[in-house]
Amino acid sequence: MKIHTLGTGHGNSTFSRFNSSTLYECEDGKLYLIDAGAPVEALIRRKGFEIKNVRAAFVTHMHDDHAGGLTGLMKQIIKYPAGREFPFTLHLPEANAIPALQGWFLAVHENAHNPLLEYKATDDGDVYEDENIKVSAIRTAHLRTKGRTEGDPCSFAYVLYFKRENLTVLHTGDLCRDFSDFPKIAMEQHFDVCLCEATHYKPEDSTAYFMKSKFDRLIFIHIGDRWHNLVRDRWNVERGEAALLETCKDFPYPVAIAHDGDTFWF
């Protein structure tokens, strides 16, 4: 499997990073997308892939930097069905997001009920399985600590973890500010790789969790401003990436910081 980090930015696109989207490529050419921040369909093409080979997409939560590219992606799926050999399954984190998205398609004169599209609402537990991967989800708090309540549509995100043959992957959505919703499963089960967001928490809060996690490799995505290597920006963090890696120097596995367009082989 190859993991393509298409967009690696945080809530706002930045000088060097678009919003969150990661593409998982299986040996048979099928593609699986986790998060669909804009401009995801353009970034899929830019990597040389065809949209018709995207089998399923999983949105960790409905914040715009994770879902804002869905309309462009799905327009392509609806408009250009030629050559598509399997339906496209879209997993949204909230049931009420499904009619909202379908309403957008109607507004832009596309067919929301195209037979190529399957809509599913994610819930805790197993959410998807086909011949390539089995995906499960764990709900995390994300912004609930800001006083939002359980039922608030902005209050949670999902961590997704999946298996393909011998490969196990843990992929976080956005986490909460003290990192306390980092899933326990990271410390209980072995994962070949973890893709973890790096915006919403401080290293002093996350280090103890990471030290205990059973990863072979950690890749940071959703990179916060302070960890950017910008040279002409207000953050003035020319050595931002080095500073983030320095906080990880004692981790018992290698750590990488993803950039837009990077590919990781497994």
Residues that bind Zn ion (CB under 5 A): 63, 65, 174
Residues in CB range of 156: below 8 A, 6 or more apart: 61, 93, 139, 140, 141, 142, 144, 150
Nearer to Zn ion, 164 or 174 (CB): 174
Q: Give the nearest distance from C-beta 66 to Zn ion in angstroms.
A: 6
How far apart are the C-alpha atoms of 129 and 134, rounded to whole Å?
4
3-state helix, strand, coil in the chain (%, to 5): 25, 30, 45
Report the alpha-carbon distance of residue 106 to residue 163 in Å, rounded: 36
Of the two residues 35 and 41, which places its CB atom closer to Zn ion in the complex? 35
Shortest Å, Cβ 192 to Zn ion: 24
DSSP per residue, 5-33: EEE---SS--SS--S-EEEEE-TTS-EEE
- Shortest distance, CB of residue 230 to Zn ion, whole angstroms? 19
Q: Shortest Cβ distance from residue 213 to Zn ion (Å)?
A: 21
Judged by beta carbon, residue 63 or residue 228, the one nearer Zn ion is: 63
User: If DSSP codes are grouped into helix, strand and coil, which group holds residue 103?
Assistant: helix
Q: Looking at beta carbons only, is 65 or 181 nearer to Zn ion?
A: 65
